[in-house]
Amino acid sequence: MRLLMLLIGLLTSTYVFAAEPFGRASIEGAEGIVPGLQVHVVVDVFAPEFFTSPPQFPLFDVPDALVTLSTDRAQNLVQTIDGTQYAGIRRSYAVVPEKAGSFQLPVVEIDLGFSSNGNSTKAIVKVALPSFEVGASSHQAATPFAARGLTMTQFFDRDPASLKVGDALVRTVVVFAEDTQAMLIPPVEFGTTAGMSLYEKPPVLADGIEQRGIGRSVETGSMRTETVVYTAPSTGRFPLPAISYPWFDVDGHVLSAAALPATDVVVAQAAVTERIQPELQGDVNAHASRARRGWLLVLSLCAIDLAVAAFAWRRLPAIRTWVADARARGRNSPRRRLGRIRTIIGVGDDLAVYRGLQDWSRKLGYRTTSEWVEAEACPRLTVQLAILERRLFRSRDVQWDRAALASAITLPTADRRPAKPALPDLNPTEGPL
């Protein structure tokens, strides 16, 4: 009787403590947060075995703050807890506080699907987001623009000192900053110039821009591009005023200003169009001589064309063979093959996709698809291929992600070429007997 109760208890405990999905959240760089600084809230969601449908990260509202979901690609994670392997996905929120104080972030509910005992199960994971404090710096203005590594550059479409009356001068100013969003970058104040008309075009905003810094470093940030057009109806020298762009440097906790120097625009009188003198009739013999030279040139070009055509006719089979080989090389280039396999993954059925992956791995020099996947060492590729094989050879209770599988397949590099087998070929075709 005691043995029976022990077995029932073990089975019950196994059911109660079955692996379930969970989530966690953290803040990157929670120290030194000031108003206007972009705060990165990182959320990790884990599920046992693998996801059958990706997590849906919702947006949320926070008073006196702007909240957006980062446009960066989600990161795939793998973690083992108590002998159970969990697949994870990481996304991040960008929270920009507008004033100092304490910011309490809510609990988000994330919908997902995962595999449980071979069955696709829907679940909702609740993740409590952490809170953070925003302090006001004594050097920061009342309405600040906080960022890191702000730079401001300008370009002219022509030399400002070489304009003519009626010409247009296009001026482009680019503001680049890190740890912010393009929509938060304030506009540039160009000022006015007496005697010149100014037309401002709508600004162009872009996030996730990479800019090369000092040495080989590459910074990623946001960019605001503003373009103005100057026109001058009269001659003279017109000074464009200097531009001062204030911003709060988060690294140094100081109020800084990017500046562009004043530029002089010099407009001169447009040149008077010269009169075209009438051409007098020349000597008749000179015209005849030029006509003969023209006919000789035409006849020479015709003779060259005939010689090239005759040579091409004699070499036609070789030319056709060369063209066919060039087309075959183009069709079978690595990029063309990569495009074909991604097309098959996007529109083909399960069997067509699996056969396409087998052909792709064999073209790369691998004997089997499993050997290629193991050499790639990509968790996304491993998970999606496992789901595809399960649908083909076991059951169709799960759905694989076409976009994730297509993005996981990349062109091979030198360090990922298949290793040479240790044993020689069973049927060598070259070498002495």
Q: pLDDT at position 86, please?
A: 92
The amino acid sitting at 11 is L
* Residues, the chain: 433
Q: pLDDT at position 110, please?
A: 94
Q: Is the pTM of this model over 0.85?
A: no
- For the stretch 389-408, what's the b/e string if a residue is b when 16 or more beta carbons lie within 10 angstroms of its beta carbon? ebbeeeeeebebbeebbbbb
DSSP annotation of 183 reads: G
Q: Are 250 and 34 in contact (CB under 8 A)?
A: yes
From residue 430, alpha-carbon distances to 28, 363, 366, 406 in Å are 61, 22, 22, 39
Q: pLDDT at position 365, please?
A: 86
Q: pLDDT at position 42, please?
A: 94
C-alpha 147/C-alpha 35 separation (Å) is: 10
Q: pLDDT at position 15, please?
A: 38
Q: Are 165 and 235 in contact (CB under 8 A)?
A: yes
Report residues of the chain scoring pLDDT below 70: 1-18, 137-144, 213-217, 271-286, 329, 414-433
Q: pLDDT at position 140, please?
A: 54
| 398-401 CB contacts, 8 Å cutoff, 24+ apart | 398/52, 398/115, 398/120, 399/52, 399/53, 399/120, 401/54
Q: pLDDT at position 165, please?
A: 87
DSSP of 139-154, one letter per residue? Answer: TS-SS--EEEEEEEEE
C-alpha 219/C-alpha 214 separation (Å) is: 10
Q: pLDDT at position 25, please?
A: 94
C-alpha 429/C-alpha 391 separation (Å) is: 40
Q: pLDDT at position 216, please?
A: 61
